Amino acid sequence: MENYQRNSNGEIRTCVRCGKIFQYFGIGRCYCPSCKKQDDEAFKRVKAYIYEHGTATVMEVAEKTGVPVRYIKLYLKDSRIEIPENSPIFIQCERCGVNIRSGRLCPSCASELTNEMRVEMDFNNEQVGEIPKKYSGGKMRFLDKNSD
């Protein structure tokens, strides 16, 4: 279980890679600054290799870049990279197992989970607020079309 403590500057967390305690601000994977830097460098190598060899397999990318397969799979799950359309090998949706090119869920499962969450939270489309475009000094108004 992750240890953390909330404060105004972030949370104290344990790095999932090296186990060090650090201040996490809720952006990206839970890596300490040192591991984040290493991950960024590894990702750049993977990205550069894929740019030059777009149809390479995960194993080939790992072998040629020195980046472990498990990290490349995380990049796929995080949708930082994707498998080419014409590839014979894909990753699977974590919910239904259908082939996908990147991410964790296929569009159908993502939509179903969203709908299930709406039902569980007793949430409907009328409860989705509109983002204001710009303040124009407007006044409150009624949105109920059925009331007089």
Task: Decide: 106 and 98 in contact? Cβ < 8 Å.
Answer: yes
pLDDT of residue 134: 63
pLDDT tens-digit readout, 124-145 = 766 666 666 665 555 555 555 5
**Amino acid occupying residue 109:** C
Quote the domain boundaries for residue 43.
Answer: 33-122
As to burial, measured by CB atoms within 10 angstroms (0-12 exposed, 13-18 middle, 19+ buried), residue 38 is: middle
DSSP 8-state class, residue 30: S
pLDDT of residue 32: 92
Q: How many domains is the chain built from?
A: 1
Q: Is residue 79 part of a domain?
A: yes
Q: Is residue 138 part of a domain?
A: no
Q: Are strands 10-14 and 99-100 parallel, antiparallel or unpaired?
A: unpaired
pLDDT of residue 83: 87
- Please tell me whether the overall predicted TM-score, pTM, comes out greater than 0.75 for this model: no
